[in-house]
Amino acid sequence: MERLKDKVAVITGAARGIGRATALLFAREGAKVVIVDILEKEGKETCDQINKNIGEDRALFIRADVSEVDDVKDMSDVIVRKYGRIDILVNNAAIQPIGTILDTDIATWDKVMKINLRSAFLCCKFIIPHMIKNRSGSIVNVASILGLRGGDKIIAYATSKAGLIGFTKALAEDLMPYNIRVNAVAPRAIDTEMFRAYRSEEELKKKMERYLFGRLGRPEEVAQAILFLASEESSYITGEVLVIGGYC
């Protein structure tokens, strides 16, 4: 099936993890995929893998820090010059520093808000005008279960993801007149470098039975949910948050 045939899809943070799995899946579904990331080596590898194994000229890598205005502006200019349109935007790039209110310093708080929340605003700001021209588009924001229910020692990250959920709902209202849909996914425990960075094997083993089906989710399982929300299969859904991996 080619559910995204000829669509131009921009995926931020797509060099690895959930973003990478989404880029591979979108390309297999017929999309032209733009991989945006600060990790040059991994970004190019993902891009090459798609172009070699899925379809020639199917992927493009752009090195951009999506929390910086100039990078986002240049990125959208390059994409529109090359493809002439943007149909899908997946705001996925994020960082996850650990810390309570007591040990999170102000610089870390600001950095998390900039990378996890301002980045989505910036990408939307520069890309939405191109969607409006076509009176169609789909935006998927990658939030987190922690943005819905909180969690310990993760104050800045959980707050940024709650903000992204609010942003999703408000933006969905703003864009209804233009036939542009905006939804979010809220994954729980997914086996990526971000998830493993602050958790020891021992800690993971202890917690495993509390996760859905006693295991971590796979990035590909999140990618399938993002595909559903990005594609016409969810044509009558906007402003929603899809939880992946169970609520508690």
Ligand X SMILES: NC(=O)c1ccc[n+]([C@@H]2O[C@H](COP(=O)([O-])OP(=O)(O)OC[C@H]3O[C@@H](n4cnc5c(N)ncnc54)[C@H](O)[C@@H]3O)[C@@H](O)[C@H]2O)c1
Count of CA atoms in the C-beta half-sphere (13 A) of 132: 10
Question: CB-wise, 66 or 171, nearer to ligand X?
Answer: 66
Decide: is 10 part of the binding site for ligand X (CB under 6 A). Answer: no
The helix (run of H) or strand (run of E) holding residue 48 is: helix 40-53
CB of 5 to ligand X, least distance (A): 26
Reduced to 3 states (helix: H, G, I; strand: E, B; else coil), residue 107 is helix
Q: Is 211 a catalytic residue?
A: no
The Cα–Cα gap between 90 and 211 comes to: 26
In the region spanning residues 199 to 238, those forming contacts with ligand X, defined by CB under 6 A, are none
Q: How many residues contact ligand X, by CB under 6 A?
A: 28
Answer for the pair 229, 235: CB distance below 8 angstroms, yes or no: no
Decide: is 87 part of the binding site for ligand X (CB under 6 A). Answer: no
Site string for ligand X, 171-200 (x = CB under 6 A): ----------------x-xx-xxxx-----
Decide: is 7 part of the binding site for ligand X (CB under 6 A). Answer: no
Answer for the pair 149, 247: CB distance below 8 angstroms, yes or no: yes
In the region spanning residues 88 to 127, those forming contacts with ligand X, defined by CB under 6 A, are 92-96, 115
State the sign of the Cα–Cα–Cα–Cα dihedral 180, 141, 71, 56.
negative
* C-alpha distances in Å from residue 105, one per residue of 97, 98, 170: 11, 11, 29
In the region spanning residues 51 to 80, those forming contacts with ligand X, defined by CB under 6 A, are 65-67
What are the backbone angles phi and psi of residue 137, rounded to the nearest 5°?
A: 165, 160
Question: CB-wise, 131 or 216, nearer to ligand X?
Answer: 216
Burial class (CB in 10 A: 0-12, 13-18, 19+), 179: middle
CB of 74 to ligand X, least distance (A): 13
Out of 157, 178, 236, 247, pick the active-site residue. 157
Determine which residue in the list 8, 24, 88, 142 makes contact with ligand X, applying CB under 6 A.
Answer: 142
CB of 104 to ligand X, least distance (A): 16
Active site residues: 157
Residues that bind ligand X (CB under 6 A): 12-13, 15-19, 37-39, 65-67, 92-96, 115, 142, 144, 187, 189-190, 192-195
